[in-house]
Amino acid sequence: MLLYHLVCPTKYRRAVITEEVDSVLRQVCLDIADRHEVTFLEIGTDRHHVHFLLQSVPTYSPTQIVRIIKSITAREVFRQIPLVKKALWGGAFWTSGYFINSVSRHGSEDTIRRYVKDQGNEPDYKQLYVQELSLFDP
């Protein structure tokens, strides 16, 4: 199972996510979870963007997951709340862009930070690096 953090902004960053839109989004996400192998662990909405913490199987690429979520939620929000479509004059609910990042159940920023910081600190690597530098000394 893979965990992803997905952020989708609304088209033109318009503040169209009301309590009613939030409710429709959450219901549609439950429907998506029933039909696809995607589980929504958390959904957080702001007035002009939505954060999803979701879990999926490796058979879906992140792009496929985003395409499924964005297309189905947009269609249903426009169908159930027609006033939103008027506020977004271009006919699209979401921007074409998005942010998606994989998330680990066991790792954390501190773990990754230490891992990156400690790269190259193995004794053999240090010795090799010192030898390479001495080749360039006049």
CA 96 to chain centre: 14
Regions of the chain short of the pLDDT cut 50: 109, 112, 124-133, 135-136
The answer to whether residue 116 sits within a structural domain is no
Residue 31 resides in a domain: yes
Predicted pLDDT at 114: 67
Note the pLDDT of residue 36: 96
Domain boundaries, position 39:
2-105
CA distance linking residue 17 with residue 21, whole number of Å: 5
Q: Calculate the dihedral angle through the C-alpha atoms of 126, 132, 134, 138, rounding to the nearest 10 degrees.
A: -150
Query: What pLDDT was estimated at residue 119?
Result: 59
Spatial distance between the Cα atoms of 110 and 76, rounded to a whole number of angstroms:
40
Q: Rounded distance, CA 135 to CA 114, Å?
A: 30
Q: Given this model, what pLDDT does residue 20 score?
A: 97
Q: What pLDDT score was predicted for residue 3?
A: 87
Q: How many other β-carbons are positioned within 10 Å of the β-carbon of residue 36?
A: 16
CATH number at residue 13: 3.30.70.1290
pLDDT at 1: 72
**Domain membership flag for residue 133:** no
Is residue 53 within 8 Å of residue 14, measured between CB atoms? no
